[in-house]
């Protein structure tokens, strides 16, 4: 049983042979490998290859794969059952931890995915404000719900289909799409839609069009404009929450959004999502208010146990300075190799998130991200993969690090990526 035979079987039964489009290798060429196990910073494929992993299950594995403390927490919870359909003690502890680390969150509702969190937050904002229109930003991906799959990033962008089929035109008309890092465009949108905008949702640091940071003062402008026009501000911190700081980007930038969406790390590798914010807004959710949201597996005890242990470790170990040092090591190695080669490569990095754009243009939004040479990235990707380093199979995704990369793994990865640049 190897990756080739598994992919052949999968394509007969699963559309494209994958259960999430971003896992496919269509934008970089070739066929995806299948993973049979993972530990620390290493994936072991069905073909017996060991790969240094810079995908980290798309963000959750901040402590590395298969961490013994998280495994033990799941095992302990498993002894009591897999799902109850009733409230359970883990839900309360998770809510307490989230509220502790995110001062903007006074109340929180748990769910089962980041998509569910953003979809529900949008519905809540519309119900609370009694307005229909929302604003999002080109290249920001907030899951695959209809209202948000307009000019989206992540897999939709990679596969050249940012406006998904199946999204009604009437839904799209209620979503205003603007360029990221352009406060004047946001001001103009409010002026063109007076009293109609329920909320503005954005990834405060973009991770689904590659990794892009805001210009100085941009997020503060967004906060001021939403407050002035009576719209809610939603930070989608599904990726960045607990990864760049315990309190996410809002802690780093000292901004208080009205609602925040979380996921990934709070599940410790198991499916999870959450959204929370001001108590007066959250109390509009059923059963207290008129905005309906529900989920059979919301607050699943296994996911809660894994996530609680993951968050406790972050609190105890405070690894953020170490993770930033690892991120800078990778960024600097690739940047130095590119400079020596005469290649124009942008390598934005913050903490344990980074990207490589093969363009001379500084990347600050979707338009500049799309100037990156995707074909050159594909060659870089395969050179890294041949050397034993796995990057996201897309020119438009962020890379992730874990504490397990410290030492030999990151040193080896820097060597491989340097050689990959030299081979271009």
Active site residue 339: no
Active site residue 264: yes
- Catalytic pick among 53, 129, 141, 365: 141
User: What six digits make up the tokens of 83?
Assistant: 């799902």
Cβ atoms of 376 and 8 closer than 8 Å: no
Measuring CA to CA, which residue among 199, 102, 148 is closest to residue 189?
199
Ramachandran sector of residue 296 (left: φ over 0; alpha: ψ -120 to 50; beta: rest):
alpha
- Catalytic pick among 236, 320, 365, 390: 236
- How far apart CA 333 and CA 422 sit, in angstroms, is 12
Cis peptide before 287 (omega within 30 of 0): yes
- How far apart CA 56 and CA 390 sit, in angstroms, is 10
- Residue 60's Cβ-side half-sphere holds a number of Cα atoms within 13 Å equal to 25
- Catalytic pick among 205, 218, 264, 365: 264
Active site residue 320: no
How long a stretch of residues is the chain?
A: 424
* CA dihedral for 389, 211, 272, 14, sign (positive or negative): negative
- How far apart CA 92 and CA 82 sit, in angstroms, is 17
Measuring CA to CA, which residue among 288, 375, 392 is closest to residue 51?
392
Helices 374-386 and 408-422, axial angle in degrees (round to 10): 130
Q: How far is CA 215 from CA 202, 240, 245, 335, 420, in A?
A: 14, 17, 19, 21, 30
Q: How far is CA 391 from CA 130, 136, 227, 356, 371, in A?
A: 43, 27, 39, 10, 20
- How far apart CA 245 and CA 261 sit, in angstroms, is 15
Give catalytic residues, as residue numbers: 141, 236, 264
């Amino acid at each position: 049983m190897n990756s080739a035979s598994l992919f052949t079987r999968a394509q007969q039964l699963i559309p494209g042979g994958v259960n999430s489009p971003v896992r496919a290798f269509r934008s970089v060429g070739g066929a995806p490998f299948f993973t049979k196990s993972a530990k620390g910073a290493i994936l072991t494929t069905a073909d017996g290859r060991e790969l240094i992993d810079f995908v980290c299950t798309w963000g959750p594995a901040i402590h590395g794969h298969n961490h013994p403390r998280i495994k033990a927490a799941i095992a302990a919870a498993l002894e009591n059952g897999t799902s109850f359909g009733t409230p359970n003690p883990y839900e309360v502890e998770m809510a307490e931890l989230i509220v502790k680390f995110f001062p903007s969150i006074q109340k929180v509702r748990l769910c089962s995915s980041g998509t569910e969190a953003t979809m529900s937050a949008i519905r809540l904002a519309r119900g609370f404000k009694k307005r229909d229109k929302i604003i999002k930003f080109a290249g920001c991906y907030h899951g695959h719900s209809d209202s948000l799959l307009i000019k989206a990033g992540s897999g939709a962008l990679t596969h050249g289909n940012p406006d998904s089929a199946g999204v009604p035109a009437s839904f799209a008309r209620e979503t205003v799409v603007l360029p990221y890092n352009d406060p004047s465009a946001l001001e103009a949108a409010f002026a063109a839609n007076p009293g109609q905008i329920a909320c503005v949702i954005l990834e405060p640091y973009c991770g689904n069009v590659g990794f892009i940071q805001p210009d100085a003062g941009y997020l503060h402008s967004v906060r001021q404009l939403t407050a002035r026009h009576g719209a809610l501000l939603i930070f989608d911190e599904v990726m960045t929450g607990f990864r760049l700081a315990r309190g996410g980007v809002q802690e780093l930038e000292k901004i208080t959004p009205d609602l925040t969406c979380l996921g990934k790390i709070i599940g410790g590798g198991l499916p999870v999502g959450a959204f929370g914010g001001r108590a007066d807004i959250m109390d509009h959710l059923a059963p207290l208010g008129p905005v309906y949201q529900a989920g059979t597996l919301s607050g699943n005890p296994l996911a809660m146990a894994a996530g609680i242990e993951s968050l406790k470790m972050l609190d105890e170990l405070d690894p953020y300075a170490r993770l930033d040092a690892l991120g800078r090591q990778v960024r600097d190695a690739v940047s130095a190799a590119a400079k020596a080669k005469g290649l124009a490569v942008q390598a934005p990095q913050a903490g344990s998130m980074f990207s490589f754009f093969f363009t001379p243009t500084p990347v600050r939004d979707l338009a500049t991200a799309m100037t990156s040479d995707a074909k050159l990235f594909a060659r870089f990707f395969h050179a890294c993969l041949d050397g034993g380093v796995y990057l996201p199979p897309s020119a438009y995704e962020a890379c992730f690090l874990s504490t397990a990369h410290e030492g030999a793994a990151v040193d080896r990865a820097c060597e491989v990526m340097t050689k990959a640049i030299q081979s271009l």
